[in-house]
Chain A
Amino acid sequence: MLSLANLDKVYPNGAHALDNVSLNVEAGEIVALVGGSGCGKTTLLRLVSGLEAPTQGTVSVDGEVISGPHAAVGFVFQEPRLLPWLSVAENIGFGLEHLPASERRDLVEEALLKVGLAGYGSRWPRELSGGQAQRVSIVRALVTRPKVLLMDEPFSALDALTRATLQDHLLALWEASQPTLLLVTHDVEEAAALADRAVVMQPRPGRVFADIPIPLPRPRDRLSPGFVEAKRAVLAALDGSLSQPVGASTKRDSQAPAGSWW
């Protein structure tokens, strides 16, 4: 289980990015983090990944506190961030250097096959389309079999059609090892298509605004009433989070006068 306990993050420049965020994610659960720009979603992921240290609070995976980049946690960045001097296959095998070459090759081949890029192993990253590059970056994080996979708006730079295809790819990949998945998105449809739960955040300072379960069976039919209803619920919460008088600490005690936010 992934747990975030009372996370606070104040950047050196004084930006208060997160304020007392607590969240528990069951093993194998898919959670979508949704929220307006600047509400601390990226910050939250970076704290969980150990790339950034919290000002206060702890992150733990199965009881083990995360204090730096950890083998149990994989990260997929918003941009593919492939290493341009390595071939596609070498990029995927980047985190597998400790394995013998033959084992590594097999894992990489299998990964390429799974994301529909069989035969692309010897290409350079510059020879890939944006969607292909992002698929490579997803399997690069997944081949090491992390318990927790963090994804920061991984599909935001892609067109709607490619995005839907990659969401299906992602679910198929997730199916194989079922890691805990924490996915930042600003796309309500993406949250409804992938997540077991959507956590809506609120800005200045970043807090959890609402936690919305999406108990739909998979594969999900994007036209079914349940799906449409889930999207509507997330969207409503998102609207609420943005129209909240900023500065009120939670929606329960939003008694502060509306004009006092600044």
Chain B
Amino acid sequence: MSDMQIAQKMTARTPARAASARIGGGFVYGLILPVAAALVYEAAFRAGLVQARLLPPPSRIAETLWKLASTGALTTHVVATLLRVGLGFGLGAVAGVMLGALTGSSTLARRLLDPTLQALRAIPSLAWVPLFILWLGIFEPSKIALIAVGCFFPVYLGVMGAIANVDRKIVEVGRAFRLSRLKLARRILLPAILPDTIVALRSGLGLGFMFVVAAEIMGASEGLGYLLVDGQQLGKPDQILAAILCFAVLGKAADWLILVATRPLLSWQDSFARSG
């Protein structure tokens, strides 16, 4: 059976019911705390217990969101931000996976490349911004470059570490069955590093959202980060909070998408988290 078919079979074997219960159940639990906090604050505001000038109540934030949405502005900002994160993360993750795989599997490549990459990693990514702006201008390319750099390192480190940590005993099984280097990579290494790689991608994506805010705050005419700056300059805390809320929802949703998309590939895992 080819590994593609295996992936399909894995999907078929996962009981859909259990999976959806896990996702759905977790979702409900996760909402309890923020919803309760919002309700309490709203009640306090209605009772006149808090001054709402700097921290507007949930109802006003919802109202702002609704206004932004009905004019279509919200969609524009969200799409702009998502495109930046998507492109930057895509570039950074691809580069991270490729270089991580190279340094993880070849000692020579590790000796040559890793010290340099580690030194680059020690530079705070934001320090690149002036240079990127000089090189790439103040528009999209410099923003995407910043996000890509931010996403690159966790992915690179995760993939390299995952390869280094593959159990020697399992690799030996492949050798005993006389797999070629290519087949060893495809049939043993690739599935073995998959879980760690997914974790690395998730942390890379998290950083992607972090850096998109930085990029947009530094100068943009659209995007959720722009909404933040605009809200600050015009003294609209409700708009700032609306943008923050959008970041929370988008970040969580993007992470959840990775999780759901890859869960069928990991149903074989025997870990603590699964047994719950």
B175 touches A126 (CB 8 A): no
A13 to B155, CA, bound (A): 36
Interface of B: prevailing SS: helix
Interface of A: prevailing SS: loop
A90 touches B270 (CB 8 A): no
Q: A251 an interface residue at 8 Å Cβ cutoff?
A: no
Q: A129 an interface residue at 8 Å Cβ cutoff?
A: no
A42 to B136, CA, bound (A): 60
A75 touches B176 (CB 8 A): yes
Partner of B175, one of A69, A86, A95, A125: A69
A161 to B15, CA, bound (A): 35
Determine how close the nearest CB of chain A comes to the CB of B231; give it in whole angstroms: 48
B268 touches A124 (CB 8 A): yes
A125 to B267, CA, bound (A): 12
Partner of B176, one of A49, A83, A84, A90: A49
Determine how close the nearest CB of chain A comes to the CB of B6; give it in whole angstroms: 7
Q: Which residues of B contact A211 (CB under 8 A)?
A: none
Q: Which residues of A contact B67 (CB under 8 A)?
A: none
Q: A94 an interface residue at 8 Å Cβ cutoff?
A: yes
Determine how close the nearest CB of chain B comes to the CB of A80; give it in whole angstroms: 10
Partner of B191, one of A49, A70, A85, A122: A85
Partner of B170, one of A75, A81, A124: A81
Residue of A70, A77, A83, A122 with highest tally of chain B CB at under 10 A: A83
What total of chain B residues lie within 8 Å of the partner, measured CB to CB?
21
A79 touches B169 (CB 8 A): yes
Q: B173 an interface residue at 8 Å Cβ cutoff?
A: yes
Q: B13 an interface residue at 8 Å Cβ cutoff?
A: yes
- Whether A83 touches B175, Cβ cut-off 8 Å, given contacts A124-B268, A124-B270, is no
Q: B177 an interface residue at 8 Å Cβ cutoff?
A: yes
Q: Which residues of A contact B194 (CB under 8 A)?
A: 85
Q: A216 an interface residue at 8 Å Cβ cutoff?
A: no
Q: B165 an interface residue at 8 Å Cβ cutoff?
A: no
Closest to B267 in A: A124
Partner of B1, one of A68, A79, A90: A90
Q: A167 an interface residue at 8 Å Cβ cutoff?
A: no
Partner of A51, one of B176, B192, B269: B176
Partner of B270, one of A70, A94, A101, A126: A126
A83 touches B6 (CB 8 A): no
Q: Which residues of B contact A83 (CB under 8 A)?
A: 170, 173, 188, 191
- Whether A86 touches B6, Cβ cut-off 8 Å, given contacts A77-B169, A81-B170, A122-B13, is yes
Return the CB mask of B101-125 against A: 1 if under 8 Å, else 0: 0000000000000000000000000
Q: Which residues of B contact A124 (CB under 8 A)?
A: 267-268, 270
* 7 A/B residue pairs, CB under 8 Å, sorted by A: A51-B172, A83-B191, A86-B6, A90-B6, A94-B177, A126-B268, A126-B270
**What is B's interface to A at a CB cutoff of 8 Å?**
1, 6, 9, 13, 169-170, 172-173, 175-178, 187-188, 191-192, 194, 267-270
**What is A's interface to B at a CB cutoff of 8 Å?**
49, 51, 68-71, 74-75, 77, 79, 81, 83-87, 90, 93-95, 101, 104, 122, 124-126
Q: With A79-B169, A85-B6, A124-B267 given, can you name 12 additional A-B contacts, CB distance below 8 Å?
A: A51-B175, A69-B175, A69-B178, A75-B176, A77-B173, A81-B172, A83-B188, A85-B268, A86-B6, A93-B1, A94-B177, A95-B177
